[in-house]
Structures are given as structure tokens and as C-alpha cells.
Amino acid sequence: MSYQSEYIASIDTPEAFWASKAAALPWYKPATQVLSKDENGIDRWFADGEMNTSYMALDAHVEAGNGGRTALIYDSPVTGQQQKYSYAEMRDWVAQFAGVLQNHGVEKGDRVVIYMPMIPEAAVAMLAVARLGAVHSVVFGGFAPNELAVRIDDATPKVIVSASCGIEVAKVIEYKPMLDKAIEFANHKPSATIVLQRPQANASMIAGRDFDWLEEMTKASAADPVSVKGTDPLYILYTSGTTGKPKGVVRDNGGHATALNYSMKAIYNVEAGDVFWAASDVGWVVGHSYIVYGPLLAGCTTVMYEGKPVKTPDAGAFWRVCAEHQVSVLFAAPTAFRAIKKEDPEGQEIGQYDLSKLHTIFMAGERLDPPTYYWAVEKTKKPVVDHWWQTETGWAICGNLMGVEPMPPKPGSATLPSPGFDVRVLDDSGNELPPGQQGNIAVKLPMPPSCLPTVWGDFNRFQEGYLSEFPGYYCSGDGGYKDDDGYVFIMGRTDDVINVAGHRLSTGEMEEIVADHPAVAECAVIGIHDELKGQEPIGLVLLKDGSDIDQETLQAELVAMVRRDIGAIACFKRALIAQRLPKTRSGKILRKLLRQIADGKDYSIPSTIDDPASITEIEALMTEHGMIQAK
């Protein structure tokens, strides 16, 4: 089938299209209401279907005679451990831990918070919660106590599952003291916490509240899967909100399983038995969708990696994992590849490993700048696919459907809309813009399966945040444009569009040019306040290892490049060499924070930051060069 016929079918006859995709899964009772409205008037998928996601992901494969197939590979360079688990072993482990949760009163609809590092038990806990028809909320391991407390109060979990520690490169991060403080801060108190003791740190336990994972497993009986409706919630995942209070994105069971299972073949072009590696963390949406659920629903082998792209032990880490485990598809954020490129600019480590099984590299989570794209293609000799999606959708809004009809790539573009996503580019009044003009990226309703139907406990916030700006559309909050071929170019969040003397300019476009300089490893371009022009762009750049270019020369060359490619209208005149850029733990540069610093505004250090010292360094650098506005 061609991309065009697949896509048109999904838009013109969505119910028939998604009913056929849902039929590929083992439902207890297939839905007769494929698309319906809920009490809030929101489109919902498979409302009267009956199923269990954990059963679909594990038991069904065992019952089909594939219990001996490897389900999960755990690869931990930070502990020196590797382990493989079959589908039968995973099913039994999950069923037993579901029994543990059952013993602590967890029932259908209850919430369980999971606060764990990248270890197999994190996936087991997620699948065990799903097995009981309960709702998990995974909080990124190592989140500060206050942030964990906010999530505990919002989700009101009956039980919290954690581990004694996580490991960041060579540093042991003790989780239990942070968990104890979070429970102390929170108004809601869980009835129990279940803690996995890791050998790197022994957690002190509070009698009557804290229970040892291994001891509890010896007391439990295996639990059977509990049937849920297609629209019953599977999980809550918190994402940043403009108010500072995180938004609990709700994912339902039926639409999620259908969309993810479909995507494994349609987008990633993998079959049952292939090895799929999403180099992310279970605390983020990529970890939910493509470490745990997507690969297992499709009968693939998933890789769980407790390490980094560099320093565990070197810039060859990704290639070593791909070679050793015969990975077919590698999926990671562009940040990971920029880190590898910085330490190994010539890609010498790549040549040390046999990557013959690796057929495609996918990137998402942030905009894939063309220099990183070209570097990855040139050095790996593999197709590199940029695709764009959000925590709110759970899978790609736009991508290159490698399992349907691969399209010629256009660097800087996430290719074409995925089936079910009717992507439009709108001006600020909600009028559709012609090709080539930048505007707000929106999706015409109904959204396809897997997309959030609400914000946990706050439907008004969901409506105001996503549906009110352009009635009849989901507003993505991202800006960009389509070209004449319908390819979608995401240029960054809509607040990353700057207004210079009345001209709307994309900082993403300038970043492309700056990143193309041979000495630049990574960069951020932000708009800062200018009395005359409204805003003025400045560049913050990290140099590649070994580069010895000076500030003045680099700035002159970058200004000339931006002037050449965009024109004097860009008014790009200043670039600073930084040692570090403030980033989240998932690798996203905190551009809004950089703008707040430059504009002299009060700011708070977000809990998601990877290295708080980087903020102090950047503020000092901007102050030194007179770039901070007086308050």
C-alpha cells in the first residue's frame, strides 16, 4: 500500500481504518463503538472494547507459542550487568509482582507511582500495574523530592514502587531519602512503598510502610490479568506546563495499544522477533511507548540500557550495544548523537563495530538540526529518520513511514503526517496558511488513537491548553510550515519564534546555520529584548573538542553565515562560546530559561535540569558580555 492511500483512508474513513488496525491485537471483546464521544464531548476510541494491555504485551505471545522468544535485554555498563528475559519469564515475573501489588490492596483504577532507575524491574512494575487494570504514573528516577511530592498529591497513589538507588555514570544516586522526603512533603500518603534493594546502596526502611521487593515476591501468588474497557486509563505521565504545575497526560488502554502496535511496522518497519532499542528512559514518553509497550505488543525484543551515549565508557557505547544485541532499529534524541559527535567527530568508534543488522536510526524529542542529520548519515551509512511527536500523543504526529512507503528525506523536516493526524498550519486567527509560510501547527479533530483525552483531574486545563485556541483543532504549541510537497518542518515551540522589527523569524532556522559551522558541536539561538527592534537573536555555542577558534573570529564567521543564508533582516550579530548549556535530563536545551535570564526576568530553576551549575555559568557569561537587561 502507498503512503497516500494509507493516509487518505485514515482521514476519510477513520473508524474503518482504526478498526482494522485494532483487529491485529488480541482483545477479549472487540469494540463495536470504534469512535464515540465521552461525557465531555471528546472523541474516544474503542469505548466498549474489553482488553488488558499487559496480557496483549506478554501472555498472548506465550499462548501463541512464542514464550521462548527474548522479550527484554538489560544492558548496564554502569554495573557491568547484562541479562536476557524471555516472554514466558517476563509474564511470570510480572504476574508475581502484580500479586505483590494485589496483596497491598491495589485494584482496578487505583494509581501506583513508580520512581525507579533504568532496570528491568521498572518495566515489570509498569506491566504489573497494567495487569491489574490499575493506573501507573512513572516519575523520572532522581526527581527532586518536591517535584515527586507534587505528582504524589496529583495522582494520589495507593502504593509507590521504588529502588534504593540509580547510577549516573559512576555516581550512585540514593532514591530512598528523596522518596522519604517527598512523602513527608506530600499531603497524600501512600499506604505502602515497595523498594528494590540494589547492591550499590542499601535503603533504610520504615516499619509498617516500606516493604522489600524480594521479600514481598516470596509471599505473593501470580495475579491474572484484569479486563478493562478500551477507554479506561493505562497511565498518567506528567509533562511541563506553562504554569509551573505539571500536567498529568492521561493515556487510555485501547487506543494506545492499537496505535503503538500499528506504528511498530508502519513507521519503524520491524517485525516480531526483531531487536528494537529506544535509548531513552522509562520516565519519559519514549520509554513508555518504545522501551516497554510498543516493542512488546509487536512481539519484538526490547533493549533496556542503563548508561549514557558517552562516558559509559566512551563514544562507542551506542554502537557496541547495537552490535552485541543485533539491534535492527535505534531510536534516540538528537542530543545523544551531538554528544557522540562532540567526542568522536570523525566517527572512528563506529568502524569498530559490526552494524550490519542495524537498518534505520530514528531521532525525536527535539528538532533534528541538519548538521547532526548529515553527520549521522555520513558516519553510519544508515538511513536517519526524523519524526515529530509529543508526550500528549504517545507516538509520531509526523514521520517517514518506513514500513509503508519510505519517502525521500528532506533534512530539517519530520517528513509527512502519520495516518490519523490531519496536520494544518494556521495563522494566529486560525486561518490555514499556504505552503512555505510559518504558523501554528495544529491537528484537525478527531485526533487518532493514543492521544490524550484529558489532563488527570483537570479537564478544563486540557480544554484551555489544547483545544480553545483554535476551535476544532488540537493546538500542538509548536510552530513550523509545510512545503509544496506537504513535508512538515517543525521550527520549535511557538514562543521560539522571534519578532525582529516586525518580521517573524525562527530561531530554529538560525540554529541550523550556526550548527553548520565546522567548529560548533551544539548551539542555541534565543531572542533577547531590543529597545529598537523588539527582539534580537543571539547565539550560544559549544565547541567541538579540539577546536581552538577564538570568540571574535567565530562570531564574525557565524554572523556572515546567518547573513548569507537568511539576510541582514535576521539581525544576528552576537554569538558567545559557552562551556555548557542548561538542559533537562532528557537533553532538551532550556531556551525559555535562557530568554528569561537575558531579559532580566525572575526565573526558577526547573526540577528537570540536568546540571544546575550550567545556569550560573551562562548568567555570568551573559553579564560579562552585557547581554542581560536591567530588571
pLDDT tens digits for range 81-140:
999 999 999 999 999 999 999 999 999 999 999 999 999 999 999 999 999 999 999 998
Q: Residue 195's pLDDT is what?
A: 98
Average pLDDT over residues 172-176: 96
Say which range, 39-48, 81-90, 458-467, 505-514, has the weakest mean pLDDT. Answer: 505-514
Q: Residue 366's pLDDT is what?
A: 79
Query: In this structure, what DSSP letter does residue 352 have?
Result: G
Q: Residue 472's pLDDT is what?
A: 98
Give 411: exposed, middle or buried? Use CB within 10 Å, 0-12, 13-18, 19+. middle
Dihedral angle sign, alpha carbons of residues 521, 527, 529, 534: positive
What residues contact residue 508 under an 8 Å CB cut-off, 6+ apart? 367, 490, 491, 492, 496, 525
Mean pLDDT of the chain: 94
Q: Residue 630's pLDDT is what?
A: 66
Task: Using the 3D structure, point to which of 197, 226, 255 is the last residue of a domain.
Answer: 226
pLDDT of 505 > 90? The answer is: no
Q: Is residue 547 part of a domain?
A: yes
Find out whether 569 and 557 touch, Cβ atoms under 8 Å.
no
Q: Residue 17's pLDDT is what?
A: 98
Give Cα 597 distance to the centre of its chain. 26
Percent of the chain with pLDDT over 70: 97
d(CA 485, CA 398): 14
pLDDT in tens, 214-225: 999 999 999 999
Q: Is residue 73 part of a domain?
A: no
Q: Is residue 157 part of a domain?
A: yes
Dihedral angle sign, alpha carbons of residues 136, 138, 143, 147: negative
| The residue count for the chain | 631
According to the per-residue pLDDT averaged within each range, which of 82-91, 591-600, 611-620 is highest? Answer: 82-91
Task: Give the 3-state DSSP-derived string for 102-131, with helices as H, strands as E and coil as C.
Answer: HHCCCCCCCEEEEECCCCHHHHHHHHHHHH
pTM of the model: 0.87
pLDDT of 631 > 60? The answer is: no
By three-state DSSP, how is residue 198 classified? strand
Which CATH number belongs to the domain containing residue 589 in this structure?
3.30.300.30
Which CATH number belongs to the domain containing residue 139 in this structure?
3.40.50.980
Say which range, 278-282, 328-332, 398-402, 581-585, has the weakest mean pLDDT. Answer: 581-585
Answer with the residue of higher pLDDT: 415 or 499: 415
pLDDT of 242 > 60? The answer is: no
d(CA 371, CA 270): 27
Q: Is residue 577 part of a domain?
A: yes
Q: Is residue 555 part of a domain?
A: yes
pLDDT in tens, 327-376: 999 999 988 999 899 999 999 999 999 999 999 999 998 778 888 999 99
Position 568: which residue type? A
Task: Using the 3D structure, point to which of 202, 226, 250 is the last residue of a domain.
Answer: 226
Give 560: exposed, middle or buried? Use CB within 10 Å, 0-12, 13-18, 19+. exposed
Domain count for the chain? 2
Query: In this structure, what DSSP letter does residue 615 have?
Result: H
pLDDT in tens, 550-594: 999 999 999 999 988 777 778 899 999 999 999 887 788 888 889
Task: Using the 3D structure, point to which of 226, 243, 260 is the last residue of a domain.
Answer: 226
Strands 503-506 and 520-530: unpaired
Give the number of other Cβ atoms within 10 Å of residue 216's Cβ. 19
pLDDT of 243 > 80? The answer is: no
pLDDT in tens, 410-419: 999 999 999 9
Nearest Cα residue to 321 out of 376, 330, 288 = 330
Look-up: residue for cell 477479549?
A: 28
Q: Is residue 213 part of a domain?
A: yes
Answer with the residue of higher pLDDT: 228 or 606: 228
Look-up: residue for cell 532556522?
A: 509
Say which range, 103-107, 177-181, 627-631, has the weakest mean pLDDT. Answer: 627-631
Q: Is residue 97 part of a domain?
A: yes
Q: Is residue 505 part of a domain?
A: yes
d(CA 334, CA 369): 8
> 134 lies in which domain range?
85-226
Say which range, 227-236, 397-406, 522-531, has the weakest mean pLDDT. Answer: 522-531
Strands (E), 170-318: 171-174, 192-196, 210-212, 228-229, 233-239, 247-252, 275-278, 301-305
Q: Residue 111's pLDDT is what?
A: 98
pLDDT of 503 > 70? The answer is: no
